[in-house]
Amino acid sequence: MFVVMAPDATEDQVNNVKSHILAEGLAAHENRGTERVVVAALGEVGPRKDVLQSRFAALPGVESVTPISRPFKLTSREFHPEDTVVRVRDVAIGDGSFTVMAGPCSVESRDQLFETAEAVAAAGASVLRGGAFKPRTSPYSFQGLGLEGLRLLAEARERTGLPVVTEVMEPAQVDLVAEYADILQIGARNMQNYSLLMAVGRVAKPVLLKRGFAGTIEEWLMAAEYVMSSGNPNVILCERGIRTFETYMRNTLDLGAVPLLHHLTHLPVVTDPSHATGKRVLVKPLVLGSVAVGADGTLLEVHPRPEEALSDGEQSLTLPLFGEIMDLVGPVHDAVKSLHGDPVLSASALKIGGAKH
Ligand code: PEP
Ligand code: MN
């Protein structure tokens, strides 16, 4: 349940509410909004629900107590009405701008990474992507350069000034990857790896959480809830396509998820048209579609010679094609904002509820 404090509640009153929540064996998480503090009391309450609700409501400084009907709590708009803006170095994700994160699927060599990093930086990307630990479908495929890849990413950051996002595949790797990366990526295959989610929840680096191939929006938000409830509020959701009956494309990009998520959650939402389509020629229209539906950014695979790529060459953009996309993002973003208003606000007018199961 959410304990909503009165606008003039004192610090002591907020602390008192938190100690009552803890004394009941629940966890207390607070959100300091522009007008008031909301304290979430989280944990199994079972039949104590009504008693606890009236007990908390009677505490000094409390304005109201609302039960939470949705299974996701800290990720919900109800808990945190303002948009979360994830800041990493000079980049803000979720502040109304459109952030382009670009780079190779895998870090393959110093030359390949630096050539790509310099080109995407020059074309206007603001975050560099690149996999060092690669989750490959086949154990015989290139598995990534590991630590050497992380070192090259850190060097590329020094050369270009771009913060770096890279995947972490298991809890034992979290500290190492966090030492080199600015944003920790959780791949689609690990969306429900709860021990990994809790491990990245304990470090002070933002997390880019990809949607699983078969993850519902609610399961995806519950995965984000694991990260947030472990102590990390900086989660970016990445729609990277889900598996459907369609086979022409690698996956199906669920663009509708973007405005829906903006209604349900305060977390920033980006798309990944590269993994969603698996085809280079389909990336440009889906980047523009992502801008139009109000995404906070996009994650794109780029390779100077895609035909030589050790992974995901078919979907990797050439440097000229990446440049073409970058030239279109700004004008489409401005046009959508001026013609359509903020797609996020239009979504919030829809009063969207959960699906009936
Ligand atoms: C990637 O970003 O290179 C990747 C492996 O993505 P996903 O987890 O979405 O398949
Ligand atoms: Mn890839």
Q: For the domain that residue 51 is a member of, what is the CATH number? A: 3.30.70.1140
Q: What is the pLDDT, as a whole number, of residue 179? A: 98
Distance CA 200, CA 178 (A): 9
Residues surrounding ion ligand 2 at CB below 5 Å: 105, 312
Q: What is the pLDDT, as a whole number, of residue 92? A: 98
Inter-residue contact 102 to 304 (CB < 8 Å): no
Residues 31 and 140 in one domain: no
- Give residues with Cβ within 8 angstroms of 160, minimum separation 6: 117, 118, 121, 128
Q: Could you list the residue range(s) of the whole structural domain that residue 139 is in?
A: 86-339
Low-confidence ranges of the chain (pLDDT < 50): 346-357
Q: Whose CA is nearest to atom 10 of ligand 1?
A: 188
Q: Is any ligand 1 atom within 6 A of the Cβ of residue 73? A: no
Distance CA 288, CA 89 (A): 26
Distance CA 80, CA 203 (A): 21
Instruction: Report the domain count for the chain.
Output: 2
Tell me the torsion sign for CA atoms 336, 260, 212, 232: positive
Could you say which ligand is closest to the alpha carbon of residue 188? 1
Q: How far is CA 211 from CA 64, 192, 269, 351, in A?
A: 34, 9, 11, 23
Question: What type of residue sits at position 237?
Answer: L
| Residue 351 lies inside a defined structural domain of this protein | no
CA count, 13 A, side-chain hemisphere, 340: 16
Inter-residue contact 241 to 277 (CB < 8 Å): yes
Quote the pTM value: 0.94
Q: What is the pLDDT, as a whole number, of residue 86? A: 98
Question: What type of residue sits at position 76?
Answer: S
R_g of the chain computed on alpha carbons: 21
| Residue 230 lies inside a defined structural domain of this protein | yes
Q: Tens of pLDDT along 136-173?
A: 999 999 999 999 999 999 999 999 999 999 999 999 99
Residues 54 and 93 in one domain: no
Residues 35 and 104 in one domain: no
Q: Whose CA is nearest to atom 3 of ligand 1?
A: 105
Compute φ and ψ for 207, nearest 5 degrees: -120, 130
Length of the chain equals 357
